[in-house]
Amino acid sequence: MTTLTHFDTPISEPINAQIMQLVVDHLSDISAMEIAPSNLLYSIYQYAIGFEVHLYLQALDGSQGIAIELIVATDEHDPQKVSGFVLYLPFKDDPHACGIAYMAELSSHRHLGVMQAMLQEVTRRYPHTELSCSVSKVAALQGMGFQVVGTRGPQVLMNTRDYSSDGLMGVLDVSSVYQSTEVRQIHTYLLNRNGKKAMLDAEKKRDRQIDQLTAKAKAFVASQK
């Protein structure tokens, strides 16, 4: 049995640490480009996307002036162990709408209904919920009441209704994360270890992957019409 807890204020350090570990361990699921561990850039995105989530968790204190909410799943037999989370952003001027920014669950808890329970709780609070996902996850999300409404970059855009909300959603500007000293240090380390050619090949591989996923998402959505 899964226990769900809702947060719209700062979370405890143990919960924060486990969410961050979920992001690091399940980066391929969370990353829109589905970057694989075999790509030399993987550790850069582990840090950068992890730091994105960290910034959003910090902003639960209201300091950034945007609405952020969180559903955390724990196991009833071990209430201190986080088995999944969904971080979502309510729309400013549409009280029924929100957009899901990040979500993940433990690999060991897949097919146990954890993600479904978390998403049901989000949509109970915000009946007009939007998210983007890979083509491979569309069928499962359709089974949870989401509909295909379009594409967002390399992903399929889904919504509990057949249209997106006209409301405004506050988001953090996380672009600076990718220009940070830490990211540059990781890149320099990888460059020194693997060489320039290998790093350029990794970038090309990433770009090809994004192009392929974008084409796949567009073709999939077109086939649904």
CB 92 within 8 A of CB 167: yes
Look at residues 170, 171, 172, 169 and name the one whose alpha carbon lies nearest to residue 159: 169
Q: For residue 214, is pLDDT > 80?
A: yes
Q: Given this model, what pLDDT does residue 209 score?
A: 96
Look at the block and give the residue holding tokens 């899901």: 100
Listed in sequence order, the residues at least 6 apart from 170 whose beta carbon sits closer than 8 Å to its beta carbon are: 64, 65, 66, 67, 89, 92
- pLDDT tens digits, one per residue of 61-71: 999 999 999 99
Q: Given this model, what pLDDT does residue 109 score?
A: 77
- pLDDT tens digits, one per residue of 2-31: 899 999 999 999 999 999 999 999 998 899
Other Cβ atoms less than 10 A from the Cβ of 155: the count is 21
Q: Given this model, what pLDDT does residue 76 score?
A: 79
2-224 under CATH 3.40.630.30, yes or no = yes
Other Cβ atoms less than 10 A from the Cβ of 12: the count is 10
Q: For residue 1, is pLDDT > 80?
A: no
Look at residues 50, 46, 64 and name the one whose alpha carbon lies nearest to residue 19: 50
CB 82 within 8 A of CB 15: yes
Distance, CA of 42 to CA of 203 (rounded, Å): 11
Q: For residue 111, is pLDDT > 80?
A: no
Confidence of residue 107 (pLDDT cuts 50, 70, 90): confident
Look at the block and give the residue holding tokens 């570990």: 21
Q: Given this model, what pLDDT does residue 45 score?
A: 96
| Structural tokens at position 49 | 């996307």
Distance, CA of 71 to CA of 88 (rounded, Å): 8
Look at the block and give the residue holding tokens 């971080």: 87
